[in-house]
Amino acid sequence: AAGDLDAAELFTAYREAAAAEDLNAYTWVADQTPDLSAAAALPLRGVPLAVKDLFCTQGVPSQAGSKILEGYRPPYDATVVAQLAAAGTSLLGKTNQDEFAMGSSNENSAYGPVKNPWDHTRVPGGSSGGSAAAVAAGLAPWALGTDTGGSIRQPAALCGIVGLKPTYGSVSRYGMIAFASSLDQAGPFARDVTDAALLYSHMHGRDPRDATSVGRPDADAIALPTGERLDGLRLGVPDDLTGEGVEPGVWTAFEAALETAKGLGATVERVALPHAGYGLNAYYVIAPAEASSNLARFDGVRYGARAEADDLITMYTKTRHDYMGTEVKRRILIGTYALSSGFYDAYYASAQKVRTLIARDFTTAFAGVDLIVTPTSPGVAFPLGAKTEDPLSMYLNDIFTIPISLAGIPALSLPCGLSEGLPVGLQLAGPAFSENRILEAAYALE
């Protein structure tokens, strides 16, 4: 229509805003507007896309928040980046993140913390904090993140936007710099449910270059949600969720969302997840164990930074000492210990058994309800620096997101009001491949 921006004008407006931003949300911004005339005919019509820095982007810095990858420009695109480019999106920028996606506040980035656009003294959540902050601040129409234990859902909640962690295996991990391979999954951030659905509808699919990708059984069947009501939808609230340990304002917003759901025709009942309380414990063995193995490749030889030294072993040691951050080293130490001979059965094998029990809890629960609902995070965005000295209190941010990651099932975070003037997120989780049902419910509640 007359007065609409064309794709190039839109891209230029976002590019200029992103280059001038003061949140530290971007670590790289496109310095020119590409020729988007051909993209106008594609389904995503040249819409600019912000991409978390751990996705490989051809010829563009991909540093995963780490000094050890400073200046690394991959020779290829991650599969999802290529899929979205084929659908018409154009790379607007790379977004700041916790180093190797380890964190819940974006304070573990070697490129500095990201500020929450609602209050610049507070964290945006993490690890995909740059992507969430960019979308919330209008510095990108939508963005890609990754979620290993909550890193899409928690920053979406803390920044007041929509974030979807898809079913594990529905999206390719090829070209994502790995943290914990059995948990990592890419997903969209958007300002509303429809945009999140649209972006995800172009991301899923089996990829021969990722042996754990399966695509979707109902290939290409992600439908844009349309329903206004929730008649007959059975929602489950975990029965040990009593509001204890949850900030009162978050709990009030959560209960109000349940009332809204009932008003739209849903029923709400209690469901048992007897092993979910062990999720954090299992996760903090499994994720560091896989990370310690994945991060062995950063040795100063193959990628990124290299420390000067006279012999090879000193070079390895010094490179990893000088260019990896504290949290990354902590995870490598925990993971290496958990995998070491004599401790493997006590830690890693036990954690895998707990993981199976948690996955079974969800299967049992979904025999009685369609979706499980919780607050996404027990609190609103906290002040920068408030939890950096206490890793355990930081890890508690993910108490509601981690069991879902261990089970491999999909979940979405949707804004559900404010507490102390800051956004609260509602988490909706469903059985594997139930993204359509989750998106429909979220759309009706939005």
> What are the residues binding ligand GLN (CB under 6 A)?
101-104, 127, 147-151, 179, 287, 398
Given 105, 151, 172, 413, which residue is catalytic?
151
Catalytic residue among 66, 104, 109, 127: 127
Would residue 165 show up in a list of annotated catalytic residues for this protein?
A: no
Distance linking the first and last C-alpha atoms of the chain: 28
CB closer to ligand GLN out of 146 and 319: 146
How far apart are the C-alpha atoms of 190 and 135, rounded to whole Å? 7
**Nearer to ligand GLN by C-beta: 103 or 188?**
103
- 8 A C-beta contact, residue 331 and residue 102: yes
The distance of closest approach from Cβ of residue 149 to ligand GLN in the complex, given in angstroms and rounded to an integer, is 3
Q: Which residue is nearest to ligand GLN (CB)?
A: 151
The C-alpha atoms of residue 236 and residue 379 are separated, in whole angstroms, by 21
Q: Minimum distance between the CB of residue 285 and ligand GLN, rounded to whole angstroms?
A: 12
Give the residue with the Cβ less far from ligand GLN, 390 or 446.
390
Q: How far is the CB of 134 from ligand GLN (least distance, A)?
A: 17
Q: What is the CA radius of gyration of the chain?
A: 21
Pair 203, 188: CB distance under 8 Å: yes
Known active-site residue 262:
no
Give the shortest CB-187-to-ligand GLN separation in angstroms: 11
Output 298-301 pairs: Cβ under 8 A, ≥24 positions apart. Answer: 298/66, 298/68, 298/69, 298/323, 298/324
Q: Of the listed 52, 115, 165, 387, which one is catalytic? A: 52
Closer by beta carbon to ligand GLN, 46 or else 129: 129
Task: Strands of 194-273 (E only): list them.
Answer: 234-238, 267-271
Q: Does residue 387 carry a catalytic annotation?
A: no
3-state secondary structure 66-102: CHHHCCCCCCCCCHHHHHHHHCCCEEEEEECCCHHHC
Q: How far is the CB of 394 from ligand GLN (least distance, A)?
A: 7
- 428 phi/psi in degrees, rounded to 5: -115, 120
**% helix / strand / coil in the chain, to the nearest 5?**
35, 15, 45
Nearer to ligand GLN (CB atom), residue 113 or residue 149: 149
Q: Give catalytic residues, as residue numbers.
A: 52, 127, 151
